[in-house]
A and B are shown apart, each in its own frame.
Chain A
Amino acid sequence: MSAIDVADATPAPTLRFVDRVNPASRLAAAMVLTTPLLVTVDWVSAAIALAIQLVLFALAGVTPGLLVRRTWPILIAAPLAGISMLLYGRPSGTVYGEFWLARVTDGSIQLAIAVTLRVLAIGLPAALLFLRVDPTDLADGLAQVWRLPARFVLGALAATRLVGLFVEDWRAMALARRARGIGDHGAVRRAATMAFALLVLAIRRGSKLATAMEARGFGADTPRTWARPSTVGVPDALLVLIAAAVAAAAIVGAVWAGTYHPVWA
């Protein structure tokens, strides 16, 4: 929850170099780096990208412990995606085993390895590049650098803050339920009704908040200014360039090794 829970989060570990880059550029870098990898399923491109990424993140100060803590869902998901491919991947070559629709073959083994690496290579950069992003800074970047519509970016930002109150609200509502004599009911049912009540509360607050925002001139057609500039500079360009270089290296490497295999082939 670290991206949302600004106030409560214990300071997230810093990433050398990356911290100086505008969050919007980090998003751009993540997209530049991983989108090309999406078009091919082969183990070489994924392995190259993954290897370079690991080196780069190590240079930026990501320790193995941090890596595991931040990315464990990906570490679990990767082999699972591989198993599915292993059993149901398009069969070719020697058949090693067969059961109903499942068939393990040379081809599916290769695909399984490729998919496992691919999930890692695509998942890691997003998780690590956004280690310590303040939603306010990201919104500033999206609206000022990317020029996304300010009404929507700020609306989303305000909503993020409201939802960030969920933890506090949850606690207060639990106390209130205890005070009202309905705090002893089954935990599951209470959790479900409280989750729903939380959503109701958030929507109500959202409606009132919209009124407060309009009262401050939000949503009018006059162009708005920004109290805090969000700028991009050399570090931003560098990060995006590095991302592009990694992607290029991966694809070129795969073509050179003869494993390049577009998903539609």
Chain B
Amino acid sequence: MQGLDLRIHAGERVLLLGPSGSGKSTLLHALAGVLGGDDEGEHHGRLLLDGRQPADARGRAGLVLQDPDSQVILARVGDDVAFGCENLGIPREEIWQRVRDAVDAVGLDLPLSHPTSRLSGGQKQRMALAGAIAMRPGLLLLDEPTANLDPRGVAEVRAAVARVLDRTGATLVVVEHRVDVWLDLVDRVVVLGADGRLLADGPPSVVLDERRESLAAAGVWVPGVPLDVPDATDAAAPGAGPAISTEALAIGRPRGAVLHAGLDLAVPEASSSVLTGPNGAGKSTLALTLGGLLAPRAGRVVAAAPLARGIGGAPVRWRSRDLLTRIGTVFQEPEHQFVATTVRDEVAVAPRALGLAPGEVDARVDEVLHRLRLDHLAGANPFTLSGGEARRLTVGAVLATRPSAVILDEPTFGQDRLGWIELVRLLHELVGEGTTLLSVTHDAAFIASLGAHRIRLDAHTSADSRTATGRGRA
């Protein structure tokens, strides 16, 4: 990122937009003074917060990072939210007052002693926000704070941020691909281009109205610009039988509680289905179970004959290699999935495991990288990708073996407009070629385009997490 001149005034509310990989997260880190010192890279020019170096003014800025998993600091919810206040030297009684306020404000309905190791992705995001709010920062920096949330959670977090801003008059810089969420709340929009330069800057109405076409072309989600993707009816195979179905299925994590029991559902062949439900409902758990990765706690998962191709109907008993061409699973958490040290190798792993000829492996890898706009990153380490890039890579790595069925856990999470359109078109093409698709998602636009069949998982009622998900529709 170079040559960026930006002046943000106290009390301003800025929405920072830009395509995936344009450096939005990097800029927020710089603003929060946590980019790392001189020994970690080069920086030129000046960045001042209240006239001071950001690193010297830590605590004035509250930052919520893009990755909710890596900002859980302590083992209990209350301690974690209190952590920032402790560092600022706030007196004890006031800390607990602030912690309770912050937890209420974000709607994290859990006891303060709840272990942080037992939170769903959405709950972690709320907790991180509570931790930042509790510091009562003058500048609130949010990096995709609603990316993992269910629609209800999005509204709640947005309301929480609005309340905090109204009460404290804090300055806000929020990064989010989905513009509509924050549009009423912000009074300024700043757009970065793919090269990290400033593309547009001004009041939302002006920027988004006058530059809609050019911004949309650059990958920015501009509300009202049609997405130009097929709609859901195109993703349905007429009269399709089930590719995967369940019989009285009970799901749960190993050693965890049973989340749902008696599930009878079907994923139709050669069509696209979506699985929705509130945070913590057990969607990921169900997806892993359907994908033959987690064992059912009771009941059965049945793969239809055309999918199983003669190796038995229970995916969880298949060998790892047999899964590759039958059911491919994209995990919610990209980091768990990476097994290689370069993007290229990452995509090549599965085709090689299939025993394809080297030439064929190369051809497939090239095709996937190209389709997902990752060619320029072929030599990069997967872990250094931006959030959106990492997501595309995990999808690509699974598609490289052309499985008959693909299960995707939040595939559009963190995607810019171009990446999103590209991905959705690709998925439509797959369905057109006869692939069975099941996507876990909270994304309304995605559902409109690929939700030919909809499966809804309601909040589960096991005692342990009832409080956790109590706000979901029962």
Do A and B contact each other directly (Cβ–Cβ < 8 Å)? yes
Chain A interface (Cβ < 8 Å from any Cβ of B): 6-8, 134-136, 157-158, 161, 164-165, 168-169, 171-173, 175-184, 197, 201, 204-205, 208-209, 211-220, 222-229
B: number of interface residues (CB 8 Å): 70
Chain B residues whose CB sits within 8 angstroms of the CB of A181 once the complex forms: 320-321, 323-324, 349-350, 353-354, 401
Q: Do residues B339 and A182 form an inter-chain contact, with CB atoms below 8 A?
A: yes
A6→B115 contact, CB < 8 A: yes
Q: Does the CB pair B65–A225 fall under 8 Å?
A: no
User: Is the beta-carbon distance between B336 and A213 smaller than 8 angstroms?
Assistant: no
Q: How far is the CA of A208 from the CA of B29 in the complex (A)?
A: 11
Task: Indicate if the CB atoms of B336 and A169 lie closer than 8 Å.
Answer: yes
Q: Mark B68-85, 1 if CB is under 8 A from A, else 0.
A: 011111111011001111
**B43: shortest Cβ distance to chain A, in Å?**
16
Q: How far is the CB of B106 from chain A (nearest CB, A)?
A: 15
Tell me which residues across on chain A come within 8 A of B321, comparing CB atoms.
Answer: 181, 184
Contact of A227 among B99, B329, B383, B398 (CB under 8 A): B99
**B-chain residues with CB within 8 Å of residue A7 when the two chains form the complex:** 75, 115, 117-118
Instruction: State which of A161, A183, A225 has its C-beta within 8 Å of the C-beta of B90.
Output: A225
Q: Chain B interface (Cβ within 8 Å of chain A)?
A: 29, 32-34, 58-59, 61-63, 65, 67, 69-76, 78-79, 82-92, 95-96, 99, 115-118, 128, 131-132, 135, 254-255, 288, 291, 293-294, 319-321, 323-324, 328-329, 331, 333, 335-337, 339, 349-350, 353-354, 383, 397-398, 401
Chain A residue nearest to B350 (CB atoms) is A181
**Closest beta carbon of chain B to A211's beta carbon, Å:** 5
Question: How far apart sit A136 and B113, CA to CA, in the bound complex (Å)?
Answer: 12
Q: Which of A168, A213, A227 has the most CB of B within 10 A?
A: A227
Q: Provide 8 A-B residue pairs closer than 8 Å at the C-beta atoms, listed in order of the A residue.
A: A161-B116, A177-B320, A179-B328, A181-B324, A181-B349, A212-B65, A216-B59, A216-B84
* Inter-subunit contact B353/A209 (CB<8 Å): no
CB-defined contacts of B398 to chain A, threshold 8 Å: 179
Contact call B96/A209, Cβ cutoff below 8 A: no
Which of A157, A173, A216, A228 interacts with B336 by CB under 8 Å?
A173
Known A7-B117, A175-B288; judge A229-B70 contact (CB<8 A).
Answer: no
From A8, A204, A208, A225, B91 is in contact (CB under 8 Å) with A225
B65 lies within 8 A of A217 (CB): no
A217 & B71 in contact (Cβ 8 Å cutoff): no
**How far apart sit A229 and B86, CA to CA, in the bound complex (Å)?**
12
What residues of chain A lie closer than 8 Å to B333, measured between beta carbons? 172
Docked pose: A212 CA to B92 CA in angstroms: 22
Could you tell me if A214 and B75 are in contact, using CB atoms closer than 8 angstroms? no
**A168: which B residues are within 8 A, CB to CB?**
117
B293–A179 CB distance below 8 A: yes
Which A residues touch B32, using CB under 8 A?
A: 214-215
The list of the 3 closest CB pairs from A to B, nearest first, reads: A183-B320, A181-B353, A216-B84
